[in-house]
Amino acid sequence: MVHERISDIMTHRVITVNESMTVYDAACAMASKNVGSILITEKASLKGILTERDILRQIGQGNNVDKMLVSDLMTKNVMTVTSDTRISDAGRILVEHRFRRLPVVDGGVLVGIVTSTDLVFELNSHQISGHISDYMSTTTYTVRSSASVGDAVEVMIKNNIGSVIVVDDDDIKGILTERDVLKAVVAKKKSSDTIISEVMSRNTLNVHPDTQISHACHLMYYNGIRRFPVVDYDHKLAGMITERDLLQALIKLTS
Domain boundaries, the chain: 6-111, 132-254
pLDDT the model gives residue 125 = 74
Q: What is the mean pLDDT of residues 136-140?
A: 94
- For residue range 90-110, what is the model confidence (pLDDT) as tens digits? 999 999 999 999 999 999 999
pTM given for the model: 0.88
Q: What is the mean pLDDT of residues 159-177?
A: 95
6-111 CATH fold: CBS-domain (3.10.580)
Q: How many Cβ atoms are within 10 Å of 223's Cβ, its own excluded?
A: 10
Q: What is the mean pLDDT of residues 187-197?
A: 91
pLDDT the model gives residue 242 = 93
Do 132-254 and 6-111 fall under one CATH topology? yes
pLDDT the model gives residue 251 = 84
pLDDT the model gives residue 121 = 86
Three-class secondary structure of residue 224 per DSSP: coil
How does the average pLDDT of the chain come out, rounded? 91
Q: What is the mean pLDDT of residues 14-27?
A: 93
CB burial class (10 A; 0-12, 13-18, 19+) of residue 90?
A: buried
pLDDT the model gives residue 2 = 55
Q: What are phi and psi of 3, to 5 degrees?
A: -85, 165
What distance in Å separates the CA atoms of residue 108 and residue 80, rounded to the nearest whole number? 10
Question: One-letter amino acid identity for 137?
Answer: S
Query: In the 8-state DSSP scheme, what is residue 80?
Result: -
Query: Would you say residue 126 has pLDDT above 70?
Result: no
- Is the separation of the CB atoms in 2 and 125 below 8 Å? yes
pLDDT band at residue 201, thresholds of 50, 70 and 90?
very high
pLDDT the model gives residue 1 = 42
Which are the contacts of 142, defined by CB distance < 8 A and separation ≥ 6?
164, 165, 166, 167, 237
Query: Would you say residue 234 has pLDDT above 50?
Result: yes
| 3.40.50.300, 3.10.580.10, 3.40.50.2300, 3.40.50.850: CATH of 132-254 | 3.10.580.10
